[in-house]
Amino acid sequence: MKNVLFLVIALFGFSSYSCSGDEQGGGDRVAKDIKAEEMVKVLNKEGIIILDVRTPGETSRGMIPGAVEIDFRGANFEKEVEKLDKSKPVYIYCASGGRSKSAQEKMSSLGFKETYNLLGGFNNWSAQGLPTK
């Protein structure tokens, strides 16, 4: 009996652990946190979307090249995001990573297949001297 109880506890712990990482997905969905070094590698890649979810005041201070602007706090965020191709990988960033994580969760619930949240956001990106426009 003790062995069965141990096995049940071990399996429960393993299943909880496997869902707690930075990559989540239901079925064929991917929602992952990435570092700036990883995002640099995809900047010029075809078939991706780079999404800046900061306010217009924030984007006026610079953006990652090729990014589309849709303010997460704007009244039309969901409507504007729905216009994007849900089958393409979307790389999302904000100022420091909080809003982009919320945007990532929202977009996953809307059916986007692959979403990547930039850890540290634009603040970290620009602090590293990475390309901006």
Determine which one of 36, 39, 90, 94 is catalytic: 94
Examine the residue annotation and report whether 19 is marked as an active-site residue of this protein.
no
Nearest to 23, CA basis, from 123, 126, 119 = 119
Nearest to 122, CA basis, from 91, 93, 80 = 93
Which residue, chain included where needed, has tokens 């809307």? 110
- The rounded distance, in Å, linking the Cα atoms of 48 and 41 is 12
> How distant is the alpha carbon of residue 55 from its chain centre?
17
Length of the chain as a residue count: 133
What's the token pair of residue 60? 């006026």
> How many beta carbons lie within 10 A of that of residue 72, not counting itself?
20
Residues belonging to the active site: 94
